A and B are shown apart, each in its own frame.
Chain A
Amino acid sequence: MLLTILNGLTLGALYALVALGYTMVYGILELINFAHGEVMMLGAFFYFTFLGMGLDPLSAALLAVASAALAGVVIERFAYKPFRNSPRLAPLISAIGVSIFLQNLAALVWGTRSVQVPLPELLQGSLFAFEGGQISRLQGAILATAVLLMVALALFIRKTRLGKAMRATSQDRKAAQLMGINTDRIISATFLIGSALAAVGGIYYAMYLSLKPTMGFAAGIKAFTAAVLGGIGSVPGAMLGGFLLGLLESVGGAYLSTEYQNAIAFFVLILVLLLRPSGLLGRGRQEKV
């Protein structure tokens, strides 16, 4: 049981990292970034490629995170920004288009089969053994990185000037603009940070499970569920939602067939949206008219 919980928490940490990007973008643009899961997948494939080019794991990871963050900003610029004031349907369709495009581009470049990503030496082996199981170093690293990044993000949003500008933009974009905030730049920064976090999640996800072009879509839906469960738009909510969903999947997986296990996220998503659309920590949002 302890092992199941531990596995669930690790999975949850990965979901939470990706969920943060959904929640930040939604908080500001009220747009579901359908291509976010693909950014996560790209981050992992970039890492895999840089590793193959002979870089050491740390610089490969840093470079991959930077490239994926850039990809996120470029996606925003070309696929979402032109639709800032269009009806909702337009950015939604373009976002799905980008997601499908990137997924199939990755399949063409890296193939459709799942690839094994080698573990760096530092993360091999066990960190801590106890009766009936162990924490691997990888699991330890995932949990530590996730918690560290989340704390850093929370502090960033709360304490820095840019964080303050982000909060202002998410509260009222027009008013923020009148106060002299360059909201377009804030939106770019949001995509940059969210995509970087997703790439970190993606790299760990590839090490922990596997790497293939469709992984971003599947993990993206789950991360999105985590964001909704915690309350979309709320940063602590995304973390809580991620951990909860990971636990739920891991515990549920002990009783269900793998195929139904993958459907857990959808059931959770639908139930939360129907029963408590504002999520666990989210405030009920007044519809902006």
Chain B
Amino acid sequence: MMHTGILQAKRIRTWPWFVALAGLLLWPLLPGVGENPYYLHLSTIVCIYMILALGLNITIGFAGLLDLGFAAFYGIGAYTYAVFATMENPLPFWVIVAVAVAVTLLIRFLVGASCLRLKGDYLAIVTLGFGEITRTVINNNPFNLTGGTFGLSGIPAPDLGFYRIDPTNPLSHYWYYYLAAGFVIFFVYASIRMKYSRLGRAWIALREDEVAAEAMGVDVFSTKLYAYVLGAVGAAVAGCLFAAKQRFVSPESFAFFESVLLVCMVVLGGLGSVRGALVGAVVLILLPELPRLFPEAVSLLPEPLQDMERYRMLLFGLALLLVMLFRPQGLVGSSKRYAELHPAMERDARREDASLDGIRDGKERF
């Protein structure tokens, strides 16, 4: 197969990916899964978050640009879809998705082009600010487009061209799931291809050492801009899927909390790891659903721990700290990433301090 060439060249085992692919496609057909609309609904939501996490992983994981306003672009995608789908003669699904991606990327480009010259910490806080501004604007119903705090409802079910999903039909759950799963496959494939492309290697070089990368001829600004803008493709597509499935959008779905949740997924799974983004999305979406999925098992826990929803954010905050401290490569990240993020260098630095020879300590000066 042609497209496995790049994987083999990098000595990546391909069979786990094919097992995962088969699992993704066959999952709803397993006995007991397909009949339960709640399982299919949850699986579709997991797929949507996988797409978001894969997108954010490009920005944060590959290029090391901490983006705390990613949910805003998820929202822009969803609202663009909602606005175009509720018009009198709605366009077909694919056309609206293309429009939503274009709108999202345009805004993302404008933000990125103005902010990406800032250093990491500043970039984080500016993206946060931009996210909050976006939510404020959506809340204030500009040009009567967004419906303010009430959001937009009555979004028609998507018309896929060959088939219009009928939400009253129980089979519609399968349609939504396979639509989302199809996009997951596309984004996984695209992520892996990008990671080992010339651009992907430039991102990683930049993430590890900006000055060294620049000295090697990497154009810092445009390379960052690519990472920032391309990451938002996932946000736009996930927004469209979300709006098409929920058939209702409101500003709360895209608040700062959502951005934090997405950052958690990428960090927990493993910064820069494609399978990490997938695992992070599965874990963090299923965690608060556990009481509903396994009521018997959860009822065995001590009383105060049963209300997972209540402790969700607390645990996320703690998880971010603990992962960075003890397992910076995330749950399934590579050990190479561990070496990059682990402060083992500190020991070397201290040793050099002791010999009063700071010159070789490239991290600090020179």
Which chain A residues have a beta carbon within 8 Å of chain B's beta carbons? Answer: 30-32, 78-79, 82-94, 96-105, 108, 173-174, 177-178, 221, 224, 228, 257, 259-260, 262-263, 265-267, 269-270, 273-274, 277, 287-289
Contacts and interface: CB of A to CB of B under 8 A. Distances in A.
Nearest to B257: A100
Chain A interface helix/strand/loop/mixed: helix
Nearest to B64: A89
A151 B325 CA distance: 38
B130 A270 contact: yes
B120 interface: yes
A108 B313 CA distance: 11
Interface in B63-108: 64, 66, 68
Interface string B311-354: 10110111111101100100000000000111101100100010
A194 B175 CA distance: 55
Contacts of B140: 257, 259-260
A262 B263 contact: no
A96 B364 CA distance: 24
A79 B364 CA distance: 20
Nearest to B120: A88
Interface of B: 60, 64, 66, 68, 114-115, 118-122, 124-126, 128-130, 132-133, 136, 139-140, 207-208, 211, 260, 263, 267, 271, 310-311, 313-314, 316-322, 324-325, 328, 340-343, 345-346, 349, 353, 356, 358, 361, 363-366
A85 B346 contact: yes
Contact of B317 (A83, A104, A221): A104
A69 to B, nearest CB: 21
Nearest to B111: A270
B142 to A, nearest CB: 11
Chain B interface helix/strand/loop/mixed: helix
A206 to B, nearest CB: 22
Given A32-B124, A86-B342, A260-B140, A92 B325 contact: no
A266 B60 CA distance: 22
A90 B114 CA distance: 25
Given A90-B324, A101-B314, A96 B260 contact: yes
A96 B68 contact: yes
B346 A84 contact: yes
Among A88, A267, A269, chain B packs the most CB atoms within 10 A around the CB of: A88
Given A86-B341, A93-B263, A97-B324, 8 more contacts: A85-B343, A86-B342, A100-B260, A100-B317, A103-B313, A104-B314, A178-B356, A267-B133
Contacts of A94: 320-321, 324-325
Contacts of A101: 314, 317-318, 321
Contact of A79 (B120, B122, B271, B321): B321
Contact of A289 (B139, B318, B366): B366
A262 to B, nearest CB: 7
A259 B139 contact: yes
A174 B365 contact: yes
Nearest to A268: B129
B343 A83 contact: yes
Contacts of A265: 129
Nearest to B359: A174
Contacts of A99: 317
Given A85-B349, A100-B320, A260-B136, A174 B364 contact: yes
Contacts of B132: 263, 266
A93 to B, nearest CB: 5
16 contacts: A88-B121, A89-B66, A89-B341, A93-B320, A94-B324, A98-B321, A100-B320, A104-B317, A108-B314, A174-B353, A174-B364, A174-B365, A178-B358, A257-B140, A270-B115, A270-B130
A84 B343 contact: yes
Contacts of A263: 132-133, 136
A102 B321 CA distance: 12
A267 B129 CA distance: 8
Contacts of B129: 221, 265-266, 269-270
Contacts of A92: 66, 120-121, 124
B343 A273 contact: no
Among B263, B324, B356, chain A packs the most CB atoms within 10 A around the CB of: B324
A87 B133 contact: no
A224 B122 CA distance: 11
What 3 A-B pairs have minimum CB-CB distances, sorted nearest first? Answer: A97-B320, A101-B317, A100-B317
Contact of B118 (A102, A259, A273): A273
A92 B128 CA distance: 13
